[in-house]
Chain A
Amino acid sequence: MLRMVKRTDMTSNKASLIRVLSILFALITAGLFIAIMGHNPIKVYSAMFMGAFGSTFRIKDTLIIAIPLILTSVGIMIAFKMKFWNIGGEGQILMGAFFASFIALNFDTLPKPLLLLMMFIAGFIGGGLWALLPAFLKVKFDTNETIITLMLNYIAIKWITYLQYGPWKDPKSMGFPKIANFSDAAILPKVFGIHMGWIITLVIVVIVSVMMKYSKKGYEISVVGESMDTAKYSGINVNRVILGALFVSGGICGIVGMIEASAVNQTLSASLSAGYGFTAIITTWLSALNAAVIIPVSILFAAMIKGGSFIQTAFQIPQAAANILQSIILFFVIGSEFFVQYKLVLKSSKKEGSV
């Protein structure tokens, strides 16, 4: 009989110890699993690490995964700061990609910089509008944003699927349901071997950090997040702050969609968001809503994704098993947060028996 008790005596040393232990346990548990599959855990782990960072090429690949993670995390962080649980990053990415693709496919004769700029703006607006919808419903009817943003993800996925199978199907694809590839003008150029999404990402991270910390709007977002009543009391137009913040939050996710469509997929597809909208929830949370911390945490997550993919081919570990490995590690790392907050005590069950 175990009971959970809220910790009152957590020091930062103790917390770090718990986290270290959790990672050790994760590695041991996952190691057992690897051993059962007939592989050497140390080899698999080192391969995972090497698969993510072992060569310039792999580091680049890891960063290419990290870019959308960082940017999406920063986007939803803005909403999270307001305690507006935007778990619609996935949908906002797709709608941003949709808007950007509309520009890319219809105005591909424009000069490259102008076209990319228009796609960028369109992506921002697309994601922003998609986030504005749940924000509007929230301020108008006090609906639950968690449900609405989640559901809007599926609507966005189905909408892109519809385009892919219907009106936007590439006539040159001989019936295969895919949207036409972008022309070269619509593809983000590379800088130092990685598409320039990384520059966009860094710039946005810096801007968002500064705005959240030093601007009036960022300040108002924090106040609304801490207490709606205080915000109203102090004369902050709460509804406007929510709508504005969500537009930016979704807009940044929309930029992710634009970058992924332009630089990575070079077309629009329903699977373009690749789960970043959901993974970013974890990275944002683990980063304690701090834009600067989001970067290393996202890179680590990207490394885990990349390393996990690497060991699949390197050791011919089935995809499902590689996913289990990643999940075990995640489970322990996130689970450790529970033990930072709570402890379990054995219930003294002497007299309790009759209860």
Chain B
Amino acid sequence: MKKILSLLVVLTLIFAMTGCSSKPDEPEKAADKPAEPSQAEAEATQTAPEDMTVGFIYVGPIGDGGYTYAHDQGRLYLEEKLGVKTIYKESVPETQEVEQEIRNMVDQGAKAIFTTSFGHMDYTEKMSKEFPDVAFFHCSGYKTTENMSNYFGRMYEARYLSGIVAGMKTQSNEIGYVAAFPIPEVIRGINAFTLGVQSVNPDAVVKVVWTSTWYDPAKEKEAAISLLDQGVDIIAQHQDTTGPQQAAEERGAFSIGYNTDMSTMAPKAYMTAPVWNWGPYYVAQVQNVLDGTFKSEAYWGGMKDDVVKLAPLTENAPAGAAEAVDAATAKILDGSLAVFAGPILNQAGEVAVEEGKTLTDEEMLNMMWFVKGVEGKIE
């Protein structure tokens, strides 16, 4: 017991020594000046980019080659364009750790914080109330507060296009879809993809498997293999890693990626992917904060805003797909094609969207049903 005490004393001393001997460096400097109300009261005043710290909270590691990687590319773009300082924390689970990390970042001087996973939403909301002077941006959710925007992209548009490629390619008329959670975002993507498939190949069906994880390379790959075992010849995914791509590559099947261009991960399988392009949005929003003109909003950018797009088709894509995609892209951009325009049947074959009607954003954001052609259940 005496020994333990002495150990503790020593530990404390060492901590204290290192703590005292060093000159305060950047993070501490930031900590010396926490975001005090008085400072941020001056709403309209501009902030110099070099005084600006922007925090990013990621659900996966930046090396996932997928979702988080796409966000991190946006962060790097932001740093390059505006010269602001950015900090990030990877692999933050969808638990109260989000709160801790937000507090850490505010403590380190962050004036704008981006949280990037659906499950970060409630914690971000809570923190936005605790730190009214910090601008919060939450990706993929639906809540906003005075100082918390939510932002996302109309990924379903790009997914629809990728569906066209898959629909033209499939031989077995069965396409596999590895999906994370049965939440509207994912369901919407599956529906849009299926509509794209059926627009060129009405007989094809899309089989869905849930993994209950955003980020788990092994599990995602396993799910893809189980789909391939059931006879699908194309794998699409709503996951953050390249696991499903690798499964398709190994089995000699074809694949549609997600998040980023995954052509290097599965050169023989990969055809295209609906991808994110966060950079411009991040630059615009942080500029608003710098200018003191930040206002919370619900942002849902589409292809015409360049937030989402379809990655270039590889040579694995079927002949004629490029033309079909281009045609559809043009129509989406000029507004003549809406993905969720009636008539759309649901899984039971009933009319879900009547002819002449198009789903509103509200309806799309709360989508909890599958269109005809999807094989799977919303659990």
Contact = CB atoms under 8 A, between A and B. Distances in A.
A and B touch in the complex (CB under 8 A): yes
A274 B92 CA distance: 12
A174 B107 contact: no
B184 A174 contact: yes
B10 A19 contact: yes
Nearest to B30: A314
Nearest to A264: B96
A20 B10 contact: yes
B61 A19 contact: no
A49 B28 CA distance: 11
A288 to B, nearest CB: 5
Contact of B103 (A57, A177, A265, A266): A57
B105 A313 contact: yes
A183 interface: no
Give the interface SS of chain A, mostly helix, strand, loop or mixed: helix
B354 interface: no
Give the interface SS of chain B, mostly helix, strand, loop or mixed: helix
A300 B4 contact: no
A181 B103 CA distance: 20
B27 A296 contact: no
Interface stretch (B13-21, B191-199, B330-338): B13-21
Contacts of B28: 47, 50, 54
Interface in A269-313: 269, 271-272, 274, 286-288, 290, 293, 296-297, 300, 303, 309-310, 312-313
A163 to B, nearest CB: 13
A318 B90 CA distance: 8
A46 interface: yes
Given A313-B89, A313-B104, A176 B378 contact: no
A130 B96 CA distance: 25
B343 interface: no
B5 A42 contact: no
A57 B87 contact: no
B107 A303 contact: no
Given A27-B14, A174-B366, A313-B88, A19 B104 contact: no
Given A27-B14, A177-B212, A296-B8, A57 B34 contact: yes
Interface residues of B, number: 58
Contact of A61 (B11, B26, B93, B103): B103
A45 interface: yes
Contacts of A12: 2-3, 6
Contacts of B14: 23-24, 27
B31 A54 contact: yes
B313 interface: no
Interface string A34-70: 0000000011011111110111011001000000000
Given A47-B27, A176-B183, A177-B181, A313 B19 contact: no
Contact of B107 (A42, A57, A181, A297): A57
Contacts of B25: 43, 46-47
B89 A176 contact: no
Given A175-B182, A175-B184, A16 B21 contact: no
Given A303-B15, A313-B88, A16 B3 contact: yes
B16 A271 contact: no
B95 A271 contact: yes
Contact of A300 (B11, B18, B95, B119): B11
Contacts of A48: 18
A58 B28 CA distance: 12
A211 B93 CA distance: 39
A49 B19 contact: yes
Given A313-B87, A314-B27, A175 B11 contact: no
A269 B100 contact: no
B18 A45 contact: yes
13 contacts: A23-B11, A43-B22, A46-B19, A55-B34, A55-B107, A175-B182, A177-B212, A286-B4, A293-B1, A293-B8, A297-B8, A313-B55, A316-B88
Given A173-B183, A175-B183, A176-B183, 15 more contacts: A16-B10, A24-B14, A46-B18, A50-B31, A51-B27, A58-B31, A61-B100, A264-B96, A271-B93, A288-B1, A293-B4, A293-B8, A297-B4, A303-B15, A312-B89
A-B CB proximity, top 5 nearest: A314-B27, A46-B22, A49-B19, A175-B183, A45-B18
